[in-house]
Structure formats: C-alpha cells, structure tokens
Structure 1
C-alpha cells in the first residue's frame, strides 16, 4: 500500500507539469480504480478454485512493475494513465485475495473480527503512504518516490512468500456459472455491493482530492494548519483504522442494517458541512475534515464483514469479486465526479470545491438508499 497515495499526493505537481484540467486530474485519480474493477471479477473469483496466496504474490509483483514503469516511462498524461491503471489492476489481486487468503486460514468464529482488522490495515497502509510521501516529496523527484514504492511492493512479495504457508486448493463444489447465478440472485449480497459502491465513491473521491483541496485552502489563506497537507491527509486516512473496527463492533452489537442506516446519513451530512465551511478558520476546517474522515469509515468493515459472514464459503470468492467490482466502480466515479464539478463551478473558487464535496454526499446518499433493502430475506437462502 506504500504507493497508494502517490497520485493523490502529487496531483498538484503533476497537474502543473502536464497542464491538466480538474477533469483530467479526476481521471488520473480514478483510472487506478478502473484498473481494479477490470481485473477483480476474474482474480477474486479465482480464489474459489485456487489458493488466494498465489494470486496475491503474482499481483504484488505486478504492482512493483507498474510503479517502476510509472517512475521511468510516465512522461505525459496518457502514459501516466496507462501505468496508474496497471497499478490499480495489481491492487485487485492483492486486496480482496489477501482477505480471502486470511479468512481461509481463520476459524469461523474469528472471521468477522479478522476481516475488520484486515480492512483497517488498508487504512494504515494508505495513511503511511500519504505520510512518507509528504515527508520526502520536497527532497526527492517524483519519479524517485514511485521507485521507492515499487521496492516496497517487491518486499511485500518476499514477506507473504515467507510468512504465509500455501494451502490446498478449495474443493470445487460448484460450477463457476452456478456460483455467479446464486450470488446475483441474493438480494443481501446486492445490497452490500450497492452500499460499498456509495462508500467508495465518497471515500476515494475524498482521498483523491484532499491534498489538492488543502493545498488550495493554504494558498487562499496560509497558516500552520494547512502548511503540510499530506500530513493532514495521512491523519485523515489513519482514522479509518479505529473507525472501521468501531463500525464492525457497532454493527455486531446493534444490528448491521440499523448501524449502516444510521452512520451513512451522518457521513453525508458532514460532507455538506465541510463543503460549505470555506469561510471558517483553517483550524476549524481541518477539525471538520478529520471528523468527516472518521465518519465515512464507520460503514466500511461493517459492509465487508456482513458480506463475508452471510455468504457460504464455497461462494465467498465469487461474492467478493462482485462486491469489489461494484464497490470500486464507485472508487473510479468519485474522483472523476469531483473533478467535473470543480471544472463546472471553478477550480479556483470556493463554489467549485463546495460542488466537489456535494458529489461526495451524493455518493454516500446513494449507498444509504441501496442499504434500505439490507433486512430483506435473500432470494437464495440455501446457505442459512
């Protein structure tokens, strides 16, 4: 995950170097997730038939290749799109397959909590990514930062190769087509997928533009609160860790559907509050941004653990493939919609940034609407 924040953190610099519009900047941020959704149905679906560890190792190596390619060959907007797309494709083979590799090796009683901690480490990795890039981006050329991240991905290959033992492939109990048919007919799976789409629309739209937003804020009214935007972005991302764990615990205590229908509107409201808070002091604005960052992750692990624990083991990889595809489609649309709104209302104006945050509110509002069916009985109840 060390390379995850490279483009969001360097977006102001890359936009200036290649004279990008806000819409093009949104595409550069979103193309990562387009690569993800292209590959994830195949790669995660394969985990029902082969050991997920093998897929993880191959795609962690691919991540290193993609980041090295960006460092050496991304000399234009078009080239950067291609290499960053490939990096997103590599994530498709590490994130959810890594989760599948973990849950396949855990007892059933530990799977929900293990999922919450695993998804929280996504936030840890993303936060560390923002942090180290903030500390080094004034000391190293941007291409060298990509090279550092490529080295870290290669180290991840070594770590998992040495520390995670291989397993026998799962029993092939059903034809892949029948698994897909069963998953697509399960209303609860579809509800979790739609909720995850809205969550990622908001989350990755926010992360993709946060450094640029804080940079603009600092340029408008410079002060110590916004002088290191990458540090604020890292802190906002680290907050995903306690929020995800708390969210899963809250869902287990008060009911998953009830929890999700409560926290998602809260996040929607805070998106609007941040968007319309340009006249506040930067200190108050940063506090609101951090509160908003915490709130938007209260649904993450609750959604993912809900999908995993309510899906039969032999269909879990297929369900995760659908869940990731739909969810990370939101990760693609979020940054692009934010950029389009910025161009439409003015990148240099408060109205433009307000419009961008409104798009985030729309994303999570959609997710909340879909979650309205979370308590409906599944069409395929054979696993109950």
Structure 2
C-alpha cells in the first residue's frame, strides 16, 4: 500500500514543480493566478472527498481506491496534452485532485480495515509519512523531465505513476463487508459531536495550509534565492525540493513516536510552534547567503511534516468505528480545503508585497504560513477543554 501510494503521488506536485519556471512565464500568469491554479488540485479533492470517503463505510474502500487512482492518472496525462492556459489548466488539475480524493483517505481506510484490531498508530504513520517520499519523487521527476523534454512530457510521464496503486489494489484481499448501513450517506452529525476528533481535524487543516503553501512556492522561492546569492552549482531547485520532501518521512515518523512518548497534544503543539518560528526566521533571512537559507529550509522541512502522522493517527484513534469513513472524509475535506487556501493565499501575499522577485514578497509569504500553522495549537486546546469539561469536579 505504501509503494502504491508513492506511485499515486508521482503527479502530486508536478504543477507546483513547474509553476514558477515554466507555466507562469508561458501563460503570463501572476503569482495569485498561479497559486489559484495550483489550489485547483486541493479544491477538486475537497469537493469529492466527503462523498468518496464516506462511501467506504458502505462498500469496500479498495474499489474507491482503484477508480480514484485511475482518474487521477488520466487527468494528469490530460493536463500535459490539453492544458492551454489558466482556465483549462485549473479545470483539468481540479479533476486530478478529484481523482486523488478517491485515492488517499480511501487508501488509508482500505489499509486500516485489513489490519488486526488494536493500536494502528505506527501503521497509519508509515502510510501517511510515505506521502513525503511520493512528493519528493514527484518534485524530482517533474523537474528533471521538464528540463530535458518539456513540462508537457513531465505531466504525461508522472501521470503513469498511479498504475502502481492499481496493481496494489488487485492484490489486496477482499474485505468481508458487514451489512449495508441505514441512514444518510453524507451524515457528519456524529463526527461534529466528537470534539476530540474535531480538534485533530482542525489541527490537520492548519498543517495542510502550511504544507501546501510551502510546496507550491518552494521552487519559486529557491529560484529567487539563487538569483540574488551565489550558491553551489549542485544545489539546484530540483535537489533542494527533493530533499525537502523526502526528509518529511522520518520527521513524520519521529513526530508520532514523540507523541506516543510525551503525549499527542503536547508533542504536536511544540512542533507547530517551532514550525511557525522557523518560517518567520526564513522570511526575515530571504536575502541571506544561499547556504544559510538552504539550512533553514531543511530545518523547515523537518518541522512542517513532523505533526502530520500524529494528527492523522490521533484522529483515527478518536473516531467512532462505525463513523470512521465519515471522520476520515471530514479530516480530508478540512485539510485539503485549507490546502487550497494556503496555495492561493500565499500567492496573493506574494503579489501584494512585490512579487516573486521581491524579498518583501517572500517575507509576507512566510508570515502567512506561520499565521496559518499557529491556528493548530488553538484547535487542540479547544478540543482538550472539552475533555476537561467532561471530567467530574
């Protein structure tokens, strides 16, 4: 399942990896338009995930995963062949996100449905942290292929990645499904009544805002840095973005281990506060020597994802078993809804403060990212207060 997910993620940042260097110049896009087009992926995901993930409470999640993976791959290939500008690009990329809505959380549901009863925290964290390996390979493949054969070829080739998950689906054991449940399919009332799960869900939204915002503009930011400061020839946007993504996997695993040892709320809160601080430091040092900025970005590459596995594992543990699909759906809806806002909002901030060639523009981008992640500890505190209120005085 983890290998299949890496294949499913091969298209994931193909647009972001080529946005600043290829698509914006070719189509004459502003940063706000580029960010909005990139957010189309998250927007399509957000629209489809409530239906597709809650559907896994009724049918085997493997079927949703299979067709979602196929749709995601076909849409990515279609972008490379048919996209001609902002509107067509945004529309097709939204379809790719819609397909991925059937591939990520339904994949997690297909996995947890087949695990033995008990604590699944480490299995969930391994699955979610393998996300980072897929994103790293997506950055790497998308840029290398685009530099050699053009950005359209990059979309076509990365669009073949989901074939790996299709193969994984064919080898998954069939789930023994219980009798179909009565009631409405999109019934989130029980999820909204679960305040502990909601705290993790809203915290995950803050995490996604920061994560998608930096992934959208990482290549553009590093291009700005090397244009102003001399950097080693080997320290290219390709290598930097790949390393930034890949170190997320051990960071997420270690973050979950810290949550198991020191307490989930405490560990997540510390990570989020640290991430906000690093973002502010990067923003104020955007014009520093390239090696300093690269070091700060690697630290940021550790803090940004370190809360991801702990948040998703906490949500999964807090979910009521008969409503786990609906809980996963809301988790993803909030997460990718704020992902879309993060990509677009940072693009607006960049334009407002001088554009991609301005140090002030990048400072405002990182201030926006820091403000977004600081909402996470507030969400966890709100959820924890509910537990305190239930305790007898």
Task: Report TM bin, short chain.
Answer: over 0.9
1:145-183 Cα shifts (integer Å, max 9, x gaps): 11111222234312321x212213244455246952111
The runs of 4+ residues in structure 1 deviating greater than 4 Å are: none
Structure 2 counterpart of 1:200, from 189, 204, 208: 208
Q: Give the CA deviation at 1:314.
A: 1.1
Structure 2 counterpart of 1:249, from 253, 257, 260: 257
TM, length-normalised to structure 1: 0.95
Within the alignment, does 1:118 sit opposite 2:127 as a pair?
yes
Q: 1:326 & 1:272 partners in 2: Cα distance?
A: 25
1:307-333 Cα shifts (integer Å, max 9, x gaps): 101212211111010111011111101
Structure 2 counterpart of 1:329, from 303, 326, 337: 337
Within the alignment, does 1:84 sit opposite 2:93 as a pair?
yes
Contact 2:145 2:153 (C-alpha < 8 Å) held by counterparts: no
Structure 1 counterpart of 2:45, from 4, 18, 36: 36
SS at structure 2 position matched to 1:375:
helix
State how 1:270-281 maps to structure 2 within 5 Å. 270-281=278-289
Within the alignment, does 1:344 sit opposite 2:352 as a pair?
yes
- CA gap 1:338/1:64 in 2 versus in 1, 3 angstroms: same
Q: Match of 2:157?
A: 148
Within the alignment, does 1:313 sit opposite 2:321 as a pair?
yes
Structure 2 counterpart of 1:134, from 130, 143, 146: 143
Structure 2 counterpart of 1:301, from 290, 295, 309: 309
Within the alignment, does 1:108 sit opposite 2:121 as a pair?
no
Q: 2:75 & 2:185 partners in 1: Cα distance?
A: 32
Q: 1:311 & 1:221 partners in 2: Cα distance?
A: 49
SS at structure 1 position matched to 2:149:
coil
Q: 1:155 & 1:143 partners in 2: Cα distance?
A: 21
Q: 2:287 & 2:77 partners in 1: Cα distance?
A: 42
SS at structure 2 position matched to 1:107:
coil
Within the alignment, does 1:59 sit opposite 2:68 as a pair?
yes
Q: 2:292 & 2:134 partners in 1: Cα distance?
A: 27
Structure 2 gaps, min length 5: 1-8
Structure 2 counterpart of 1:220, from 220, 228, 237: 228
Cα root mean square deviation, aligned: 1.7
- The aligned length equals 379
Structure 1 counterpart of 2:106, from 92, 97, 110: 97
Q: Give the CA deviation at 1:258.
A: 1.3
Within the alignment, does 1:68 sit opposite 2:77 as a pair?
yes
Structure 1 gaps, min length 5: none
Q: 2:228 & 2:330 partners in 1: Cα distance?
A: 43
Within the alignment, does 1:366 sit opposite 2:375 as a pair?
yes
- CA gap 1:301/1:155 in 2 versus in 1, 3 angstroms: closer
Contact 2:50 2:186 (C-alpha < 8 Å) held by counterparts: no
Contact 2:141 2:154 (C-alpha < 8 Å) held by counterparts: no
- CA gap 1:267/1:170 in 2 versus in 1, 3 angstroms: farther
Contact 1:43 1:55 (C-alpha < 8 Å) held by counterparts: yes
Contact 1:225 1:282 (C-alpha < 8 Å) held by counterparts: no
Q: 1:306 & 1:23 partners in 2: Cα distance?
A: 34
1:76-106 Cα shifts (integer Å, max 9, x gaps): 1111101110111111110000000000001
Bigger Cα displacement from structure 2, 175-184 vs 63-72: 175-184
Q: Match of 2:3?
A: none
Contact 2:58 2:181 (C-alpha < 8 Å) held by counterparts: no
TM, length-normalised to structure 2: 0.93
SS at structure 2 position matched to 1:297:
coil
